[in-house]
Amino acid sequence: MIEILARECLQRGIRLSTAESCTGGMVSAAFTDLAGSSSWFDAGFITYSNQAKMKMLNVSEGTLNAHGAVSEAVVSEMAIGAVKNSLAHYAVSISGIAGPGGGTQEKPVGMVCFGVSDGKRTLCETQYFKGDRASVRLQSRDFAIGFLLSFIRESKA
């Protein structure tokens, strides 16, 4: 799927950025595993702490306090911040609870929120993955790539 995303970016002159929390750079690593990715991938932000989200991506402290780091409100601001703080046209953001601990009844282990943005339009989605920490993180990486590709293709119209 990354090859398809890369081809789409190259054909349209698009550059991407990422804002990752629970995946710790896995999406960025997947992008840079592909030779030539520097022509379409600009920057990756790994913002594991709330302070990093605020400082590097301009996530509001109020949003974090009101909704928590694992929320669509936060990933929306992360994605917008990744576009604004890079040379990218589009960004994908991820924040979730990979486990094994940290889950609650309201936000269980495997809950992961995703955001995609072009700086003007932003979409968010929450997924619930099953499996251990490694599995949740891999599923998150793969979903994020597909979500971003769909958003870019939708933006063509």
The pLDDT tens digits for 14-23 are: 999 999 999 9
**Cα 45 to Cα 50: distance, rounded to the nearest angstrom:** 13
The neighbouring-strand residues paired with 115 are 93, 124
Domains of the chain by start residue, with CATH: 2-155 (3.90.950.20)
The confidence band for 106, taking pLDDT boundaries of 50, 70 and 90, is very high
Instruction: Report whether pLDDT(89) > 70.
Output: yes
Instruction: Report whether pLDDT(157) > 60.
Output: no
Answer for the pair 73, 63: CB distance below 8 angstroms, yes or no. Answer: yes
Mutual angle of helices 50-57 and 72-84, in 10-degree steps: 40
Which residue in this structure is represented by tokens 């929120």? 113
